[in-house]
């Protein structure tokens, strides 16, 4: 133990002592998403392929009256309590 910290245990951080592996992928080499909206669109496309009813809801959503949107949100929100 070190003299200035007699009541503490010092551990070695191997990440600092060991250089990066040759196969490591540094952050600058990692692909970053250019547009998160594209990710959302891809995700929604996959979901609507699996469930065409979801596609109907997504397509109709902007045209729905506010009270219908609120009712749907309430029903969906209450579904988490149904077992």
Task: Categorize the per-residue pLDDT at 1 as very low, low, confident or very high, splitting at 50, 70 and 90.
Answer: very low
> pTM for this one?
0.46
Task: Categorize the per-residue pLDDT at 78 as very low, low, confident or very high, splitting at 50, 70 and 90.
Answer: confident
pLDDT of residue 26: 60
Q: pLDDT tens, 2-57?
A: 555 566 666 665 556 666 566 665 655 555 556 666 778 888 888 888 898 988 99
The Cα–Cα gap between 61 and 58 comes to: 5
What's the token pair of residue 30?
A: 């990692």
Is the Cβ–Cβ distance between 46 and 39 less than 8 Å? Answer: no
Higher pLDDT, 43 or 64: 64
Instruction: Give residue 65's region: left, alpha or beta (phi > 0; psi -120 to 50).
Output: beta
């Amino acid at each position: 133990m070190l003299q200035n910290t007699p009541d503490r245990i010092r551990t070695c951080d191997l990440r600092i002592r060991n250089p990066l592996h040759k196969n490591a992928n540094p952050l600058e080499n990692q692909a970053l998403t250019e547009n998160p909206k594209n990710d959302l669109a891809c995700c929604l496309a996959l979901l609507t392929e699996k469930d065409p009813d979801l596609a109907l809801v997504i397509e109709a959503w902007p045209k729905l009256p506010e009270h219908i949107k609120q009712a749907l949100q309430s029903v969906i929100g209450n579904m988490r309590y149904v077992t």
